[in-house]
Amino acid sequence: MNRTPPKWYWPDVTDPLVLDAMATVPRHLFVPREMQEQAYDDIPLPIGLRQTISQPYIVALMTQALGIGAGSRVLEVGTGSGYQAAVLATIAGRVWSVEGLADLASTAQGRLRSLGYDVEVKTGDGWLGWPEHAPYDAIIVTAAAPEIPPALVQQLAEGGRLVIPLGVVNWDQVLWRIENEPDRGLQARRLADVRFVPLVRHSAEGAATEEMQVLRTELRRLVGLPAGNG
């Protein structure tokens, strides 16, 4: 099999840092052995535990939307195989990643370390982010949520960007970018129609503070969701 990442080409992915990273990270080392023949096809692949490694195009598109560079502080929610984290670390240098499934987190951490990527992985509730290392210049969520978790937005630095798929599994999902602009506050941009596995919430939702509830309402308005719990 071909074990060299191809020079990917997509008309709407033009960031040279992203294209170089995609051409560097060995995707075949992030998929099960029986899937390695398909590692460089531009398709998602199963990695076990009902999870997938995203289509390379989607990885590149989401990474480009983050607008990261060397030294950017990056949080990933949904480590999965570790492939997306490796792409991010190739550009930024250091990445923090939260994975809800302990087996995936452990395997990904070991794989990333063995390959020399500076990624710190922990098992946890991605809805809550990783506040100990905040603020982040970029946060990427690699599973679909019904709404934007307010805690993630609270962990964005001024000028930071959150890229997240929103929607219900097996129904329409949309990839959004939320930017914390210094002058205009939170701004949203719809990027693409996508299909992701669900972002699982592990902790029960407690009583929200007034600040959190106001933020949640604003975030729902930004992406066209009703203000209530629906």
CATH classification of the domain holding 179: 3.40.50.150
Per-residue pLDDT of the chain (230 residues; tens, 9 = 90+): 667 788 899 999 999 999 999 999 999 999 999 999 999 999 999 999 889 999 999 999 999 999 999 999 999 999 999 999 999 999 999 999 999 999 999 999 999 999 999 999 999 999 999 999 999 999 999 999 999 999 999 999 999 999 999 997 667 899 999 999 999 999 999 999 999 999 988 766 655 688 888 999 999 998 988 876 54
30 in any annotated domain: yes
Dihedral pair phi/psi, residue 23, rounded to 5°:
-85, -5
112 in any annotated domain: yes
193 in any annotated domain: yes
Round to whole Å and give the CA distance between 181 and 67.
13
6 in any annotated domain: no
- Locus of tokens 């060995």: 26
- Sign for the CA dihedral angle at 79, 58, 27, 93 comes to negative
**Per-residue model confidence (pLDDT) at position 102:** 95
7 in any annotated domain: no
Q: What does pTM read for this prediction?
A: 0.93
Q: Is residue 108 exposed (0-12), middle (13-18) or buried (19+ Cβ within 10 Å)?
A: buried
> What range does the domain containing 63 cover?
16-199+208-222
Q: Any idea how long the chain is?
A: 230
- Positions annotated as catalytic residues are 54
Round to whole Å and give the CA distance between 205 and 198.
17
Token digits of residue 220: 């729902």
228 in any annotated domain: no
What's the domain count of the chain?
Answer: 1
Round to whole Å and give the CA distance between 98 and 100.
7
212 in any annotated domain: yes
**Per-residue model confidence (pLDDT) at position 112:** 98
**Per-residue model confidence (pLDDT) at position 230:** 46
11 in any annotated domain: no
